[in-house]
Amino acid sequence: MRVNEIFVSIQGEGTSTGYPTIFVRFTGCNLRCSYCDTTYSYDEGIEMTAEDIYSKVKEYKYKRVCITGGEPLLQEEIHKLLFLLKEYEVNIETNGSIDISEFDLCDRHRFTMDMKTPSSFECMKMKLDNFKYLRRIDEIKFVIGSREDYEWAKKIIGNCYQRGIIIYSSVFTKIDPREIIGWILEDRLDVRFQLQIHKFIWSPEEKGV
């Protein structure tokens, strides 16, 4: 497995926002989103086994882990790592283009499926069948950068949504979050809006936070 960084910080987004979390960021992604904020994870990293990663995670003492990237589901030993982390609360961030049907997650583990909107230029690669395999505890994230993104997300929810927590987020500095909130309230959508709080606490370019 190729690892870009392992660090502890607070979770900046999603249903665990604000909680101390161990982040395991993997190297490599099959997408090149226009608004990607972790381009440094495309190629930079070191080889580690699942056991190596598990040992490093244990050093931090916390029992909450975020597996991210890049795209972590591209890692060959991801199943082994998830088994080793069976006693941890684990959030697996995946980009919506990888088939999740083969993953039978335990109750402590959940997906955050980041559905790429049109302004990412990768929305055509989304696997909409993945909606069938999400559970009530899984998160479905839409990063909104324009009205087109918002309308696309609304259509996808209407056509595909079955279960899970729907989260809307704004592309940082590209759109005023108040616009998105206004659209949500106007359409009476029952979705959760979030800001990435780590980008307000630290510099958006800072690593390891």
d(CA 150, CA 200): 23
Axis crossing angle, helix 177-187 with helix 147-160, rounded to the nearest 10: 40
117-150 residue pLDDT tens: 999 999 999 999 999 999 999 999 999 999 999 9
Domain boundaries, the chain: 2-201
Please state the pTM of the whole predicted model: 0.93
Give the β-pairing of 2-10 and 139-144.
unpaired
DSSP secondary structure string for all residues of 161-202: --SSEEEEEEPTTTS-HHHHHHHHHHHT---EEE--THHHHS
For the domain covering 2-201, report its CATH number.
3.20.20.70
Q: Give the residue from 1, 9, 15, 13 showing the smallest Cα distance to 37.
A: 13
d(CA 105, CA 78): 12
DSSP summary character for residue 117: P
DSSP helix/strand/coil, 125? helix
90-120 residue pLDDT tens: 999 999 999 999 999 999 999 999 999 999 9
